[in-house]
């Protein structure tokens, strides 16, 4: 299954939520580029319920059938024990860890006034804590390697979303968690660069279990032989490159990836400003803010807003 470029030859990659959809596509793409892959997946339903080992093991078998190397990991990476065992699995099975792709997640969509705190906690737990804990344990390993004089060429690819960048009606907890992942990415990139670790994020748009109903309602299925713009495999080449040594020097960035398009996302930057040099009165502050807004770029619309 090797690619002519073999960008990830000799590397060990971990992909969370890799039993289906984007995670599966990322695991296969990394393996095709020569990586040995730890395929993590709990095998839960779309809402996070249930669990099974079959999805992860099926991807492992796909990689092996194509001539690659892979092992399954089916623990909960949103727990300290599960995240620690994820890193330990890579070290035990393949003797190292070079690339971490954080991808696991599920949905419990509700309008804000209808959202239960248990649903909020469940979604932010798997998306945000499920990014933080694997990253923490992988970073601890890489820091130890760097302090021992073995500075790694480590790569982390986190998964945000357009919902995290712009917001999405009916997805307040998902949007908040995905926005948190962007901030996590920026801070981790700043803190871990000294240890040879690069951290980036993607905001993918593709047909997965979480999006299939949306795309089914808005897009027709591609004709036979035509380019499938919503295939998750369209996103994975960027992930494979970011996860390779070839991406040297790229860190703290967010990329939107959809169909055949890659966009470098540019986040909060200072816009129009006014400085009185003293304290504003409320009325003055309002006048100044109104004048500044007239000069500012209008915000991008929230997904689903009318």
CATH code: domain of residue 187: 3.40.50.720
Would 22 be classed as within a structural domain? yes
Q: What is the pTM of this model?
A: 0.91
Would 299 be classed as within a structural domain? no
Q: State the Cα–Cα distance between residues 156 and 244, nearest whole angstrom.
A: 10
Would 251 be classed as within a structural domain? yes
Q: Which of 160, 161, 168, 236 is catalytic?
A: 161
Q: Which residue has the tokens 């279990």?
A: 209
Would 143 be classed as within a structural domain? yes
Q: Which of 85, 160, 174, 175 is catalytic?
A: 174
Would strands 36-40 and 70-73 be described as parallel, antiparallel, or unpaired? parallel
Q: Which residue has the higher pLDDT, 3 or 131?
A: 131
pLDDT in tens, 266-298: 999 999 999 999 999 999 999 999 999 999 999
Domain count for the chain, please give it. 1
Confidence of residue 52 (pLDDT cuts 50, 70, 90): low
Active site residue 161: yes
pLDDT at 48 over 50: no
Q: State the Cα–Cα distance between residues 101 and 155, nearest whole angstrom.
A: 8
Active site residue 178: yes
Instruction: Determine the structural domain holding residue 107 and report its residue range.
Output: 12-265
Would 134 be classed as within a structural domain? yes
Confidence of residue 14 (pLDDT cuts 50, 70, 90): very high
Would 273 be classed as within a structural domain? no
Would 298 be classed as within a structural domain? no
Q: Which of 160, 178, 195, 244 is catalytic?
A: 178
Confidence of residue 214 (pLDDT cuts 50, 70, 90): very low
pLDDT in tens, 137-190: 999 999 999 999 999 999 999 999 999 999 999 999 999 999 999 999 999 999
Would 278 be classed as within a structural domain? no
pLDDT in tens, 87-134: 999 999 999 999 999 999 988 999 999 999 999 999 999 999 999 999
């Amino acid at each position: 299954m090797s690619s002519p470029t073999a960008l990830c030859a000799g590397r060990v990659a971990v992909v969370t939520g890799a039993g289906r959809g984007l995670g599966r596509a990322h695991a296969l793409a990394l393996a095709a580029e020569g990586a040995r892959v730890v395929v993590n997946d709990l095998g839960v339903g779309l809402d996070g319920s249930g669990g099974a080992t079959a999805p992860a093991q099926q991807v492992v078998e796909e990689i092996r059938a194509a001539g690659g190397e892979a092992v399954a990991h089916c623990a909960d990476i949103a727990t300290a024990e599960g995240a620690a065992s994820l890193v330990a699995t890579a070290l035990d099975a393949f003797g190292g860890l070079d690339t971490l792709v954080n991808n696991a997640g599920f949905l419990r969509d509700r309008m804000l006034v209808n959202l239960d705190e248990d649903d909020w906690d469940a979604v932010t737990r798997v998306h945000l804590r499920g990014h933080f804990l694997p990253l923490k344990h992988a970073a601890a390993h890489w820091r130890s390697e760097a302090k021992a004089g073995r500075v790694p060429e480590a790569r982390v690819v986190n998964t945000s979303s357009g919902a995290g960048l712009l917001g999405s009606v009916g997805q307040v907890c998902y949007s908040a968690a995905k926005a948190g992942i962007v901030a996590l990415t920026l801070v981790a990139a700043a803190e871990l660069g000294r240890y040879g670790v690069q951290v980036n994020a993607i905001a993918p748009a593709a047909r997965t279990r979480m999006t299939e109903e949306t795309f089914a309602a808005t897009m027709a299925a591609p004709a036979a032989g035509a380019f499938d713009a919503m295939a998750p495999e369209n996103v994975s080449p960027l992930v494979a490159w970011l996860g390779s040594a070839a991406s040297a020097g790229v860190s703290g960035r967010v990329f939107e990836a959809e169909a055949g398009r890659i966009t470098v996302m540019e986040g909060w930057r200072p816009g129009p400003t006014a400085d009185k040099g003293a304290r504003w009165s409320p009325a003055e502050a309002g006048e100044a803010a109104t004048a500044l807004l007239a000069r500012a770029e209008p915000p991008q619309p929230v997904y689903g807003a009318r």
